[in-house]
């Protein structure tokens, strides 16, 4: 099992290292980081959306925020997957929605769009 986890981490690190971007990140993964707790905050800004996110136990949860702002704070392990999706209730709504994931109080990923579905995801250990 440990070898499978290591192989998965090596594949993920290779994929992440090959991605182009404006930031120069190092994705070296240590065994102690895999089990480390990461403080994750999901944030959604936009009117008339339904929010789905992966919760602390790894399952999907749905919330129906009132107003134009929503956030949820959870704790995940380094290999846990974080994902948040905002789905507009009205398909004719052209307003923008912004979805963010913070890891250990630092912005990890963000997406702003006027599309009907806006989402971001990450492994917390790749954001620090």
Q: How confident is the model over 6-60, as pLDDT tens digits?
A: 444 444 444 444 333 334 444 455 555 667 889 999 999 999 999 999 999 889 9
Domain CATH code at residue 50 = 2.60.40
Name the pLDDT band for 127 (thresholds 50, 70, 90): confident
Residue in the block written with tokens 């090959």 = 18
Tokens of 99: 């979805």
Domain contains 70: yes
Within a domain: residue 82? Answer: yes
Q: Is residue 18 part of a domain?
A: no
Domain count, the chain: 1
**Which range of residues forms the domain containing residue 99?**
36-126
Query: Which pLDDT belongs to residue 23?
Result: 41
Backbone angles phi, psi at 34, to 5 degrees: -60, -45
The Cα 43–Cα 90 span in angstroms is: 20
* Per-residue pLDDT, 22: 38
What the block records as the tokens of 8 is: 């998965």
**Rounded CA gap, 112 and 84, in Å?**
13
Question: For 85-101, what is the mean pLDDT?
Answer: 91
- Whether 85 is in a domain gets the answer yes
Q: How many of the other CB atoms lie within 10 Å of CB of 89?
A: 11
Maximum C-alpha span of the chain = 49
Q: What is the pLDDT of residues 56-74, one digit of tens each?
A: 988 999 999 988 999 999 9
């Amino acid at each position: 099992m440990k070898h499978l986890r290591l192989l998965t981490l090596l594949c993920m690190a290779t994929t992440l290292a090959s991605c182009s971007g404006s930031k120069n990140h190092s994705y070296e993964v240590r065994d102690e980081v895999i089990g480390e707790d990461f403080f994750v905050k999901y944030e959604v800004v936009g009117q008339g959306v339904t929010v789905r996110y992966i919760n602390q136990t790894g399952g999907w949860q749905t919330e129906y925020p009132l107003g134009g702002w929503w956030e949820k704070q959870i704790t995940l392990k380094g290999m846990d997957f974080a994902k948040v999706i905002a789905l507009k209730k009205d398909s004719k709504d052209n307003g923008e929605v912004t979805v963010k994931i913070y890891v250990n109080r630092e912005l990890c990923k963000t997406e702003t769009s006027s599309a009907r579905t806006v989402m971001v995801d990450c492994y917390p250990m790749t954001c620090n």
